[in-house]
Amino acid sequence: MLKERGRQRTDSTHIIAAVRQLSRVENVGETMRQALNILATVEPEWLRGQAQPEWVERYKDRMDQYRLPKSETERLSLAQTIGRDGEQLLRAIDDPAAPVWLRQIPAVITLRQVWIQQYFPGAQGPVWRTAKEHGFSAAPVGIHSPYDPQARYSEKRARSWVGYKVHLTETCDQELPRLITQVETTIAPVPDSEALPVIQADLAQRQLLPAEQLADAGYVTARRLVSSSQQQIDLCGPPRSDSAWQARAGTGFAAADFLFDFQQQQARCPAGEFSSSWENTTDRYGKEQVKIKFAVTTCRPCQQREQCTKIDRRILTIQPKAETRALEEARQRAQTKQYAMLYAQRAGVEGAISQTVRRSGLRQARYLGLAKTHLQHLLTATAINIIRLVNWLTDVPLAKTRQSAFVKLMKPVPLTC
Ligand code: SF4
């Protein structure tokens, strides 16, 4: 019932971690509390010699918004106090007289990471970080709860959440049941395009690579178009649009309006002028790119400069040849009727997401940590596959995309003769 080199479609959705969402003060307080409770269990005698009497009052109860001081100043003062407590505990753990293995306890590792993320080292002790003065950790590393330190913050459109992301890939061949072939769970901020190679590698390992893979714009970058094509996969989806102001304006000279000769390492602009420099370089993530410049003496007297650049020369950054060509082809293809008909089938994968969310509560992680959350997703997908197989074997028709009563009412009535 599964066919290699068939058609499959992929989509992702957000997963909310199985932990309470904490404010920053709650987060540091709970991190300290967790470390104390673990140390009290595994090395009680050592901790008794280190703990301060006031810690009992401060950390005996769960940190909760309603128990925290109401005024900003008092909360800041509490955050600073917790910071000093944590630093004192870490100093004691790092003391050569302390058992070395204490440093390897996960709760202590989390304490150390959270303190780096939430406090700035000051001369008088740890200073509560602010976005303006010290900045915060990037989303892929920021810990939001000591009880699930792998759960991460992310945003998509108007939604923000702390947790994970799951990608589901399912078959969509005619005359065959729709079955989930791959489940990939990542931390929340990982972009869809970064998960795609992992999904494809897993499908390849199980001889389930598709010939066509339908996915939304999040997956369809120039690099993924090229890497998919190298595995004989036609990645079909809306290619990323050019976000430069020239392209957004619609009247400016976007990169697509230039001609690039990768052999001669030269670009030609819409005014017919040639570039003065071509540099093969890498971006800050180490990915290859090409930086092209036009001479100031060419651009400054140009009549069309306003449509092209806001400085006295045009500078373009493009991707290497294969990626640039793949993107151009994908953008042209996206204008065709055949593409629209093929891509329309991608929407069906939203039914798979909806089914797993409604029937199995996929949206909410039941366990702590990436590995167990992934296991939950695998079990959910297995259960859904069994339901789908039974339905297919017993000729239950596929569910139609749900429409609201209002949309159904307002549908145009077909004309009759
Ligand atoms: S500003 Fe420079 S790059 Fe742009 S169109 Fe004029 S000559 Fe060409």
**CA-nearest residue, atom 4 of ligand 1:** 308
State in Å: Cα 42 to ligand 1 middle.
69
- Ligand 1 binding pocket (C-beta < 6 A) is 253, 269-271, 273, 294, 298-299, 302, 304-305, 308-309, 314
- At residue 134's C-alpha, the angle toward residues 129 and 136, to 5°, is 70
Neighbours of 346 (CB within 10 A): 19
| Parallel, antiparallel or unpaired: strands 7-16 and 159-171 | antiparallel
State in Å: Cα 323 to ligand 1 middle.
24
Closest ligand 1 atom to residue 308 Cα is: 4
Spatial contact of 25 and 78, defined as CB atoms under 8 Å apart: yes
Alpha helices in 11-155 (DSSP H): 24-42, 44-50, 53-59, 72-94, 106-118
Spatial contact of 40 and 47, defined as CB atoms under 8 Å apart: yes
| Parallel, antiparallel or unpaired: strands 7-16 and 212-214 | parallel
3-state secondary structure of 359: helix
What confidence tier does 241 reach under pLDDT thresholds 50, 70, 90? confident
Q: What is the pLDDT of residue 416?
A: 55
3-state secondary structure of 7: strand
State in Å: Cα 259 to ligand 1 middle.
13
State in Å: Cα 250 to ligand 1 middle.
17
**CA-nearest residue, atom 5 of ligand 1:** 271
Q: pLDDT (tens digit, 9 = 90+) per residue, 47-73?
A: 999 999 999 999 999 998 778 888 999
Inter-residue long-range contacts of 195-202, CB under 8 Å, 24+ positions, other chains counted: 195/12, 195/165, 195/167, 195/219, 196/10, 196/224, 196/227, 196/228, 196/235, 197/224, 197/227, 199/10, 199/167, 199/169, 200/227, 200/228, 200/231, 200/233
The correct answer on CATH 3.40.50.620 for the domain covering 7-15+153-239+335-393 is: no
Which residues make up the CATH 3.30.420.10 domain(s) of the chain?
7-15+153-239+335-393
Q: What is the pLDDT of residue 415?
A: 60
What integer is the mean pLDDT of 243-261? 89
Q: pLDDT (tens digit, 9 = 90+) per residue, 82-141?
A: 999 999 999 999 999 999 999 999 999 999 999 999 999 999 899 999 989 888 888 889
